[in-house]
Structure 1
Amino acid sequence: MITVPGGEVTLTDRRTQRSWTVDVAPYLLAAHPLTQAAHARTTGTPDGGQLPAHSLSWWDAVRHCNALSLQEGFTPAYHLHDTTDDEDGAGDGITWDRNADGYRLPTEAEWEHACRAGTTGPRYGPLDDIAWHRDNSEERIHEVATRHPNTWGLYDMLGNVWEWCWDLYDPEVYGSYRVLKGGGWYDPHWSCRTSVRRRSHPTLRIEDVGLRPARTPRPQP
């Protein structure tokens, strides 16, 4: 986990031409997307080594975060109510305990703040150096941390797999759809930019979508 300093980030939505600024407190973020090996240790799924875990729905991601928290002795960040019916909805059956120190999904603002790492351009470096994308991936997924990191030590923030965020994309227009960030191995260069927002239903499972756990550290006494 990398300690990400607090700061201010401005998010934009190309569809609506809207922008908004968010203050971000310090937090912890995984240095690279969740690997299949790490996912296997927590859930018992097949171990694919250092390839990113993928084909995970937003609900899968939330459950992984809680399972990992319990495994490592942290307080789970999410309280899941009876979600039997809710998994087809917006996530009303889940509560985020923002005081918990367990693993969770980053907010969109946290994700973009971490990706930028103090930069202001569309990317934190030359795309071929930092990301697996359509023009260099041979149309397949690659092991994590094999491209250059940003200046905060975070790998694969762009390319390889899209990453789930906590936020709803635009509930008034798209209902339960959640935010995805980062671009994937099959995306053209245009999609592999820090500001790009993608939306998908929380039940979506597809081979270019994974996650990157975050944590809120406990306050120091």
Structure 2
Amino acid sequence: MNKFLFILSAVCILFFSCNFSGDNSNDYAYYKVAPRTEDSQFSVSGSGLKIDMISVLNTDAIVLGEDVESVTKNVQVVPFSMSKFEVSYNVWRFVYSWATSDLRGNKKYTFENAGAEGQYGDLSSSKLFNEGGEPQDEGIPVCGINWRDAVVWCNALSELCGLAPVYFTDSDFKNPLRNSIYAEGESPSNIPLPYGNAKATDMTSLAKGNVDNPYVNKNADGFRLPYLYEWEYAARKCEDGSFISGRNAPGDKTGPCNGSSKPTLMDEIIGIEFVAQSKVAKNYGWNMSNSMQDGPNKTAAGWDDRNSACKIPANGGMRIHKQGGKLPSKLGFYDLAGNAYEWCYDFGSPYDWKYEVYPYKSMKQGGYNASYSYFESCYRRADPSYVKTGGLRLARNAE
């Protein structure tokens, strides 16, 4: 009898220590570490504008790409802070105007794109609203920026707020990256490239210190783009310490975004009920099936989303919505599903990529004109750094 109990115990230990992600390169245990979070507000100097942040102060490991990508990666997550909402055009425009002012002399910033106050239309005819103009509303996520604009703008915000910039052109961290244009002075190219007219020289540079591959001061206290592991942790981690599947929308425990999918082995073990996603996903984000509808009269960020400025040209069609109009992730982050696409810092390479450079950057998440299948927490796009299809969410090292 004792021998039988010993064998049974050994089998149980082996079973529950297995790596269910399909990636056996590292040991990964599904132990539950209940997260500890802290809310804060950061004031943008001289503007009256505020950025809501959530700090995740105790962390464990996560499997990037779990249940979605054929190659996954186990990452130990360190404490971090991330903005509760996507960056609004109001905040973007104030920082942009300050950074590009002639009064800044040789510390003046240069951007390839001025940003837009939202976006509207379907995939084939999407248009930017109020591109480069003064804000007409409040709380609409900035759109129409590329990865280069995003990292340079993060540096500008850091300097404006008296924080140390993160991205530099030199390894000594003396020259902050202040120019998002890869080659100034070039005329637009006639070469047909996706997402508009890129410049003839506007390809990805792999040189270290260039705008596409800056030196990163990982100890700086300034603002930066989130790393993929931070973004996915914010999307998938639950209050009890468990993770939702990478196939689920951020915060949604009910089932995969793709209705034809089956529950994973871990879903069955934990006892997650499988529900047709079309009945649930609409509650977690704006996408092609619901973004033409009005939002609430008061979003989580405090905005009236019924008659926003971005709605006017859409004429009842698909459009970007104001911050915080849908349900958040379990840690309290809004609009991780749908609305504006969000640039992350990481390369868009496979997770087993062995080299230090890659021509594409990662972008999360399914947008206002995409289908529910792109709501998957582990879904990511890989785009050249010069395409102006994204918005952004801020991150910082946890204090």
Number of aligned positions between the proteins: 216
Please give the residue correspondences for 1:123-134 in structure 2 after superposition, counting only pairs within 5 Å. 123=249, 124-125=251-252, 126-134=280-288
* Aligned equivalent of 1:184: 367
Q: Does 1:4 align with 2:56?
A: yes
* Aligned equivalent of 2:226: 106
Cα contact 1:167–1:178 (8 A) shared by 2 = yes
Q: Which shows bigger deviation, 8-17 or 21-30?
A: 8-17
Partner deviation per Cα, 1:169-202 (whole Å, 9 max, x = no partner): 1287993100011211011000111010111000
Alpha-carbon distance between aligned partners in 1 of 2:365 and 2:234, rounded to the nearest angstrom: 11
Cα contact 1:13–1:197 (8 A) shared by 2 = no
Please give the residue correspondences for 1:1-221 in structure 2 after superposition, counting only pairs within 5 Å. 1-5=53-57, 6-12=59-65, 17-44=70-97, 45=132, 46-47=134-135, 48-80=137-169, 84-85=182-183, 88-90=203-205, 92=208, 93=210, 94-118=214-238, 119-121=243-245, 122-123=248-249, 124-125=251-252, 126-138=280-292, 139-170=318-349, 175-206=358-389, 209-218=390-399
In the TM superposition, residue 117 of structure 1 has moved relative to its aligned partner by 2.6
Alpha-carbon distance between aligned partners in 2 of 1:27 and 1:105, rounded to the nearest angstrom: 12
The SS at the match of 2:65 is strand
Alpha-carbon distance between aligned partners in 2 of 1:144 and 1:80, rounded to the nearest angstrom: 33
Flag the 1:90–1:115 CA change in 2: closer, same or farther, 3 A.
Answer: farther
The SS at the match of 2:367 is coil
Q: Percent identity?
A: 28
Partner deviation per Cα, 1:110-167 (whole Å, 9 max, x = no partner): 1111111333131212321120011100211100111121222210011101111111
Alpha-carbon distance between aligned partners in 2 of 1:133 and 1:89, rounded to the nearest angstrom: 30
Alpha-carbon distance between aligned partners in 2 of 1:15 and 1:137, rounded to the nearest angstrom: 25
Partner deviation per Cα, 1:53-107 (whole Å, 9 max, x = no partner): 0111000100110011011111001113587449632463111100001000011
The SS at the match of 1:149 is coil
Flag the 1:16–1:32 CA change in 2: closer, same or farther, 3 A.
Answer: closer
Alpha-carbon distance between aligned partners in 1 of 2:329 and 2:91, rounded to the nearest angstrom: 22
Give the TM-score normalised by the residue count of structure 2. Answer: 0.51
Alpha-carbon distance between aligned partners in 2 of 1:14 and 1:205, rounded to the nearest angstrom: 29
In the TM superposition, residue 15 of structure 1 has moved relative to its aligned partner by 8.5
Cα contact 2:361–2:383 (8 A) shared by 1 = yes
AA at the equivalent of 2:387: L
In the TM superposition, residue 36 of structure 1 has moved relative to its aligned partner by 0.5
Cα contact 1:180–1:200 (8 A) shared by 2 = yes
Q: Which shows bigger deviation, 168-177 or 114-123?
A: 168-177
In the TM superposition, residue 16 of structure 1 has moved relative to its aligned partner by 6.2
Give the TM-score normalised by the residue count of structure 1. Answer: 0.89
The SS at the match of 1:59 is helix
Alpha-carbon distance between aligned partners in 2 of 1:213 and 1:50, rounded to the nearest angstrom: 15
Q: Which of the pair has the greater relative contact order for Cα pairs under 8 Å at 6+ separation? A: 1
- Give the unaligned 5+ runs of structure 2: 1-52, 98-131, 171-176, 184-200, 253-279, 293-317
Alpha-carbon distance between aligned partners in 1 of 2:231 and 2:69, rounded to the nearest angstrom: 20
The SS at the match of 1:104 is coil
When the two chains are superposed, the root-mean-square deviation of aligned CA atoms in Å is 2.4
In the TM superposition, residue 12 of structure 1 has moved relative to its aligned partner by 1.8
Q: Which shows bigger deviation, 166-175 or 147-156?
A: 166-175
Alpha-carbon distance between aligned partners in 2 of 1:141 and 1:79, rounded to the nearest angstrom: 32
Cα contact 2:68–2:379 (8 A) shared by 1 = no
Alpha-carbon distance between aligned partners in 2 of 1:185 and 1:17, rounded to the nearest angstrom: 26
The SS at the match of 2:286 is coil
Alpha-carbon distance between aligned partners in 1 of 2:157 and 2:202, rounded to the nearest angstrom: 20
Alpha-carbon distance between aligned partners in 2 of 1:80 and 1:216, rounded to the nearest angstrom: 21
AA at the equivalent of 2:333: L
